[in-house]
Amino acid sequence: MQVTRSLFDDVMVPNYAPSAVIPVKGSGSRVWDQNGQEFIDFAGGIAVNCLGHCHPALVTALKEQSEKLWHLSNVMTNEPALRLAKKMTDATFADKVYFANSGAEANEAALKLARRYALDVYGADKTGIIAFNKGFHGRTFFTVTVGGQAAYSDGFGPKPADISHCDYNDLAAFEALINDKTCAVMMEPLQGEGGIISPTPEFVQAVRELCTKHNALLIFDEVQTGVGRTGDLYAYQGLATTPDILTTAKALGGGFPIGAMITTKDIAEHLKVGTHGSTYGGNPLACAVAEAAFDTVNTPEVLAGVKEREQMFRDGLANINAKYNVFSEVRGKGLLLGAVLNTDYAGRARDFLVASTEQGLMSLVAGMDVIRFTPSLVIPKEDIIEGLARFEKAVAHVVNG
């Protein structure tokens, strides 16, 4: 069968509008399409391919596990799931792990747990959930309603109730919303889809303190920031603020679908047998690959390398901006970075993305005004240099028409 971009339009539901490029092979931070064109990958599958494409450790783990055991469901547990859970709890604040297949499912579990905990401990009136405008927490109906972008949740009928939003970093607005009927606050420790927006340390600390004051659980959505993306294993570790529940996915499997919710023993006990579940959650294949990814990322060398590569990106983008004057700032942390377009180029992020693709560079956007970069955490430095050179050509094309 000949596979072309037009086949997508024939057989796929039209909720996506993919590029004409169809990649067929990847190695490290390089990708090749059907025509043999090479791309440097600054997108990382939207912060998923934390070790690039076909990393030997992940390939080995997948091959070895594929010859042992693929699937059981949660009628029985399995060794890869238990090993991974132990490593995650040893490396974080958490005591307990729940495995899912995606970030949305991990967030769904976190929200359900928060509601159940509040019901069990404080009674039926404590149901309020606070989240933040421009936030993104997944595409299930619960998580997309909690996410602070109404355009994604409108048009599907009545929404889950008792959910409110305020602006990120607006402490006065948040303080006005939270009360003793709030059961949980869900926030990203660095907003990704909303434009690569970092919290102020004062805001994060105040949110933590107010949650404690009102007996509300603080949920950190680390689907995009987790597993080394910011230069810490999890972003909360660089913010001196510990959540009650944390969700992780994307980079957790290095490209193999997996998600997880982690929390403390006292909170976890409220998801008793039968209250929540997943057929594929904790799948041996997924957990074996995720264990290899986790082991590889969670080292001083890799995490320090993220911060070193961040500086290379910042320096390179500053040099490009000195020539073309298109960015107002570069936001983010580690290898979750956003180049914010200035007023002269406002709303044109996609133009830069398209031009980058034409120059052999895979990049992303975060809204209409931000070009987003989420490459492999171990991207070779020569690929950063070459990728930025290609990006500069793309910038020149947009600027010069």
Spatial distance between the Cα atoms of 131 and 184, rounded to a whole number of angstroms: 9
Nearest Cα to Cα of residue 371 among 226, 387, 20 = 387
134 carries an active-site annotation: no
Residue 39 assigned ligand-binding role: no
Alpha-carbon torsion, ordered 81, 84, 87, 88, to 10 deg = -90
Report strand pairing: 245-248 vs 259-263.
antiparallel
Q: Which of 99, 132, 136, 373 is catalytic?
A: 136
Angle at 161 between CA 158 and CA 166, to 5 degrees: 110
104 annotated ligand-binding residue: yes
- Per the structure block, which two tokens stand in for 342? 């200035």
Rounded distance, CA 213 to CA 210, Å?
5
- Whether 210 and 176 have beta carbons less than 8 Å apart is answered as no
Q: Is 250 in the active site?
A: yes
- 351 belongs to the catalytic site: no
First to last CA, the chain: 39
Annotated catalytic residue within 41, 221, 244, 383: 221
The rounded Cα 340 to chain-centroid distance in angstroms is: 19
- Dihedral sign from CA coordinates of 212, 184, 294, 250: negative
Rg (CA), the chain: 21
Distances (CA, A) of 62 to 24, 256, 379: 19, 9, 21
Measured in degrees and rounded to the nearest 5, phi and psi for residue 260 equal: -155, 150
* 363 residue type, one letter: S
Q: Is 103 annotated as a binding residue?
A: yes
- The catalytically annotated residue of 250, 256, 294, 352 is 250
Report the distance separating Cα 67 and Cα 65, nearest Å. 5
Q: Is 279 annotated as a binding residue?
A: yes
**Which residues are known binding-site members?**
103-104, 136, 139, 221-224, 278-279
**Which residues are known binding-site members for pyridoxal 5'-phosphate?**
103-104, 136, 221-224, 279
**Which residues are known binding-site members for N(2)-acetyl-L-ornithine?**
139, 278
Residue numbers annotated as active site? 136, 221, 250
